[in-house]
Each structure stands twice: as structure tokens, then as C-alpha cells.
Amino acid sequence: MKKIKQLFAGVTFASLGLQSAQADYTLNLMQGVTTVSHDIFDLHMLILWVCVFIGIAVFGTMFYSMYHHRKSKGHKAANFHENTTVEIIWTIIPTLILVAMAIPATKTMLELDNVQNSDMSIKVTGKQWYWDYEYLGTGVHFESHLDAVSEKVHRDGSDPTRVPHYLLNVDNPLVVPVGKKIRFVFTAADVIHSWWVPDLGWKKDANPGFINEAWTQVDKPGTYRGQCTELCGRDHGFMPIVVIAMEQADYDKWLQTTLAKQNEKPDLSDQNRQQLMTNGEAVYLKNCVACHQIDGKGINGTYPALSGSAKVTGGIDPLIGFLQAGTSRMPAFAKLKDNELAAVITYIRNAPELGNKVGDEIQPKAITPVYDDDE
């Protein structure tokens, strides 16, 4: 035993290259910030105390009987076959208890599914590994990825304790107004995901080819965080959710600003090498790093390496077309604006982290719709 202790002395998560999870230690279900979450908490506490009372009654009777009617006190076990009265009692009482618990439980479940008379609707699409939000009827539509700081720290093995809300922060949070009934429509583009924000009191699966519904009404402004709770792939743990609830006036301003920014044309002005590289790294961390890794080495047998890749370091026009068209394994990045595409191409061809040094760059104005069918 002493030798084993010496062998493992000083071994920590950090020394093994692992990152330990950080979470608040609690003993009970959280109450949340919505009416539904409070109803669920109240139901939970009701059932808990019913179970506690039953446990005390049953085990109290059992231990009392065992202690006061033990053999050492001269008691002898009675010999009888059945007692109709007792059997009726222990059938009726549990039935009444179950019915009493079923009434508030059914009421809460019906309340959870009541999406009628909602003030607004948001479509939520789960994708590997981020969320896509569409505010139906407004024109606002954006993606929400793990924030760049958490992504980089996770990939390069830095100390995660120095990052606020590590793995629980995003670049584009979901913003909702307080005091409004919000209907959510859930689906997925690839595999099963599950959208969960504990403060809202529920979670809902997002299934490819299916639509699930849920609703919420947040009455308290604030920031509420959650995660995907379905094992949706190798980066399942890096798919957080951030919901920011605002007063109606602030929400209206955000909606207008977001819509105006969304409709802005991309900045096609020339950028220097440092700007292209900085912007390209941000695009890479958001869209590429999950498969191709922080060092560009990829995953052997699954995702190809970018380091030394002939496709990456070869001609720029075929590379542009390849990224825009995608392949059976890689999504098309035609969704990227020309300035984003120019930046990420410059980055992957010249980033020291990826081991490439072509020495060139491409400006946003040079992006053209060239397609290459070679996969």
C-alpha cells in the first residue's frame, strides 16, 4: 500500500492533462425563475414529504415491532394465514395516496404542454455542436456557439478556473423579454440534442425530422445558463445555452440592433495580415476546431488534418470552392460572409498553430463563387 501511495503521489487532474468539472454542491431541486419551475418544485417537495412520512410510518412500525416483540422478551410469533381487514386497508390507503399525488402531478404536466396563447415563438435547432435560433416572424436568425475563450482554453489545455463561466458561455445568447409567454419549437439538423436551462424548470429533446414544443415565461431579468443534455457526439460537453431575460424596452432595442446588424453587408475592405489572422482564428474556433483540432492535426481516421494538407496549402480558388460547397462529411460554409471566409482561409494557410506557412493572404473582395467537386 505504501508503494502504491508513493507511485501516485502528486498525481492530479492537471498532471494527467485532464480538466475537472466545477459545479455548485446542492442537496435539493432548484426553484428556478418561472411559474412552471416553481410549480415543479412545489410538486417535488409535496411528493418528497409524502414519501418521508410513509417511510417514517412504515419503518417506525417495523422497528418498534422488532424491538418490543423480540424473542428475548418472551414473545412468540403469531401464526395466521390472512386478515381481510388489513389487506383492504393497505390497498385503499396507498390508492388514495397515489390519487392525491396524481392530481397535482397531472395539473403540472398539462401546464407544461400548454403552448397556447403565446406572445412570441422561437425555433431552436440543435446542430453539432451549437444552437441555431430563429425568432419566428421577426427576421432575426443567428447561431450560438461556445465562446472563443472557453473553446481555446479547452483545446490548448490552459487553466479553466481562470475563465468566468467556463464552458457555460456563448458568443450569441438567446435574448427574451420578461413577462411574455414564449413558445419554443425544437428540432435538430443531425442527431438528437436536448435543450436544458435549469432555471426554466424543464428540458426538451430536439430530434431530427420531428418538432417538439415547450414554453416559458421569465418574470425576473437576468442571465440563465444551461447545456445540451443529450449525448450528441464527441463535443457534447461544449454546447452551452445562455438565456438573457430583459425588460420589454431593452428587448425591443436589442431586437432592432440585432436585425440591423444581421442585415448589414459584410465589410469587404482590405485588411492587413494581422487583422485577417485574428479574425480567421475566431472563425476557426467557432466552425472548424471541433473536427480539425486546435493544432490542425484532425482526428486520425475520422477528420483529416489541415497541417500540411495539399488542399489547404494548394490553390486558393479550389479551396474557396471546396469550403463553400462542403462534402458529405463537412458542412458547406457558404453561410460564412466573404470577409469571414477570407479570414479563415488566410488563417489555415498561415497559422503557426496549424503548422502551415504559405505566406500569402486573400482579401474579402477576392472571394468568388468557385466550386470544386473534388472531395
Domain count, the chain: 3
212 and 308 in a single domain? The answer is no
Cα distance between residue 278 and residue 259, in whole Å: 25
* Distance of alpha carbon 165 from alpha carbon 167, whole angstroms: 6
Q: What is the reported pLDDT for 19?
A: 44
Q: Is residue 329 situated within a structural domain? A: yes
Query: Is the same domain home to 126 and 254?
Result: yes
251 in the same domain as 283: no
Nearest alpha-carbon partner for 320 in 351, 365, 286, 355: 365
Instruction: Indicate whether 169 and 150 sit together in one domain.
Output: yes
Q: Is residue 20 part of a domain?
A: no
Please say whether the beta carbons of 197 and 32 come within 8 A.
no
* Residue 12 covered by a domain: no
Assess if residue 179 is contained within a domain: yes
Domain end marker among 229, 262, 295 = 262
DSSP conformation class of 171:
S
Name residue 131's beta-bridge partners.
Answer: 126, 144
- Which amino acid makes up residue 213? E
In a domain, 268, yes or no: no
Q: What is the pLDDT along the chain (375 residues), one digit of tens a residue?
A: 444 444 334 444 343 344 444 556 678 888 889 999 999 999 999 999 999 999 999 999 999 989 988 888 888 887 877 888 889 998 999 999 999 999 999 999 999 999 999 999 999 999 988 999 999 999 999 999 999 888 888 777 788 888 889 999 999 999 999 999 999 999 999 899 999 999 999 999 999 999 999 999 999 999 999 999 999 887 888 899 999 999 999 999 999 999 998 888 888 888 888 988 988 888 888 888 878 888 888 888 778 888 888 888 888 888 888 888 877 677 777 678 888 888 899 999 988 888 889 888 889 888 875 444 443
Distance CA 84, CA 72 (A): 30
Residue 187, domain member (yes or no): yes
State whether 324 and 283 are in the same domain: yes
**150 domain-assigned:** yes
Same domain, 174 and 140: yes
Q: Are residues 344 and 307 in the same domain?
A: yes
Q: Whole domain around residue 348: which residue ranges? A: 273-366
Task: Report pLDDT for 8.
Answer: 37
- 129 and 224 fall within a common domain: yes
Tell me, yes or no, whether 222 and 130 share the same domain: yes
The per-residue DSSP string of 59-108 comes to HHHHHHHHHHT-GGGT------S--HHHHHHHHHHHHHHHHHHHHHHHHH
Residues 355 and 255 in one domain: no
Question: Which residues have a Cβ under 8 Å from the Cβ of 154 and sit 6 or more positions away?
Answer: 19, 160, 167, 238
Among residues 262, 284, 301, which one ends one of the domains? 262
Whether 288 and 214 share a structural domain:
no
pLDDT at residue number 25: 67
Compute the distance between CA of residue 26 and CA of residue 12 in angstroms, rounded to an integer.
25
Cβ–Cβ under 8 Å, residues 151 and 289:
yes
Distance between CA 258 and CA 263 in Å, rounded? 9
* Residue 102, domain member (yes or no): yes
Nearest C-alpha neighbor of 111 from the set 230, 201, 207: 201
Sheet with 193-197: strands ordered across: 174-177, 240-246, 222-228, 193-197, 202-206
Q: How far apart are the C-alpha atoms of 154 and 166, rounded to whole Å?
A: 9
CATH of the domain at 323: 1.10.760.10
Q: What is the CATH number of the domain that holds 233?
A: 2.60.40.420
pLDDT of residue 328: 64
Which 3 state secondary structure label does DSSP give 225? strand
3-class DSSP state for residue 131? Answer: strand
Same domain, 281 and 179: no
